[in-house]
Amino acid sequence: MRHDPIALNRLANLLMSSGLGLLLVGVLGAYVLDGSLTLPAIVLAHALTILGPSLVKIGYVMRLAASRQARFA
């Protein structure tokens, strides 16, 4: 099943930028502002430091797939 490479590339860029944002918020909350946050907020911040890079990796693989589809289209 083939998808539009341009739309796939846009989605990949969105995932990568969202992942970077989540990572930055997570690092800020988990390591910089941890003294002023509640325990559930700190746990959430640590979870964001895992989810953020995961979105970046998924977005990067989607970007590679989009460039491959554009090359063979």
In sequence order, the 6+-apart residues with CB closer than 8 A to the CB of 29 are 37, 41, 42, 44, 45, 48
pLDDT of residue 73: 65
- What value does the mean pLDDT take over residues 55-67? 96
Report percent pLDDT > 90 for the chain: 88
DSSP label at residue 58:
H
pLDDT of residue 1: 58
Could you tell me which residue, 35 or 72, shows the higher pLDDT?
35
Structure tokens at 63: 């970007």
pLDDT of 27-47, one tens digit each?
999 999 999 999 999 999 999
Average pLDDT along the chain: 94
Distance CA 36, CA 68 (A): 46
In the chain, where are the structural domains located? 5-72
pLDDT of residue 33: 95
pLDDT of residue 3: 78
CA-nearest of 51, 62, 52 to 11 is 62
